[in-house]
Amino acid sequence: MANFTKQAIRTSFMKLLNEKPLGKISVRDIVEDCGINRNSFYYHYQDIPALISEIITGLFDRLIAAYPDVTSLVDCFNAAVDYTLKNKRAILHIYNSVSRDIFETYLMKYSEYAVTEYLSAAFSDGTVSEEDREIIIRFVKCSLFGISLDWLSSGLPEEAVGNIRRMLTVSHGMSEDIIRRCAENEKKR
């Protein structure tokens, strides 16, 4: 029963979030939409930011579970884009609210996961120092995160998706080149 109630709350919240900005949604709106009382809401969630945090965590956990073996940053991006475009208004309402920091934190974690998994095969031979690995992961992670934030801040235009895919495709191999140069520098030391 508890899982059913939590799911009903999340579903109602996402429905409302697709209809109006986050600042215009109250606990009352949520409980009226899903047919429960306020106490039931507060039994499961401390407040709306806690609900947002759980929804965002769940989203990124599902994306990670869908791609346990990352072989392409484009594939990870495509999975995130599919969900984002289906929930465009809700995502933008969260992004343009006081809860932006929650969203950005999880976006950074997802970017780090995707990059770390993607580069793990390239690091498997042990020719790159741990320090260089961390630098490379941070560089690529921040690039992916920045591309995502740029897309979000421009309102998630669908026409930008093709350009971002092209950017990821064109830069394919760049990480491997950086790794190769690091390995060559290690040999020279």
Give per-residue pLDDT as tens, 25-48: 999 999 999 999 999 999 999 999
40 and 52 share one domain: no
pLDDT tens-digit series, residues 43-99: 999 999 999 988 888 887 887 777 666 667 777 778 788 888 888 888 888 888 877
CATH code, 61: 1.10.357
CATH code, 38: 1.10.10.60
Report whether 27 contacts 41 (CB < 8 A).
yes
pLDDT value for 6: 94
User: Which residue range forms the structural domain that includes residue 60?
Assistant: 47-188
Instruction: For residues 186 and 135, give the distance between their C-alpha atoms in angstroms, rounded to a whole number.
Output: 14
pLDDT tens-digit series, residues 105-115: 888 988 888 88
26 and 54 share one domain: no
Lowest mean pLDDT among 20-24, 47-51, 123-127: 123-127
104 and 166 share one domain: yes
Please count the structural domains in the chain.
2
26 and 114 share one domain: no
89 and 162 share one domain: yes
64 and 37 share one domain: no
One DSSP character per residue, 17-38 reads HHHS-GGG--HHHHHHHHT--H
58 and 135 share one domain: yes
121 and 85 share one domain: yes
Q: Is the pLDDT of residue 172 over 80?
A: no
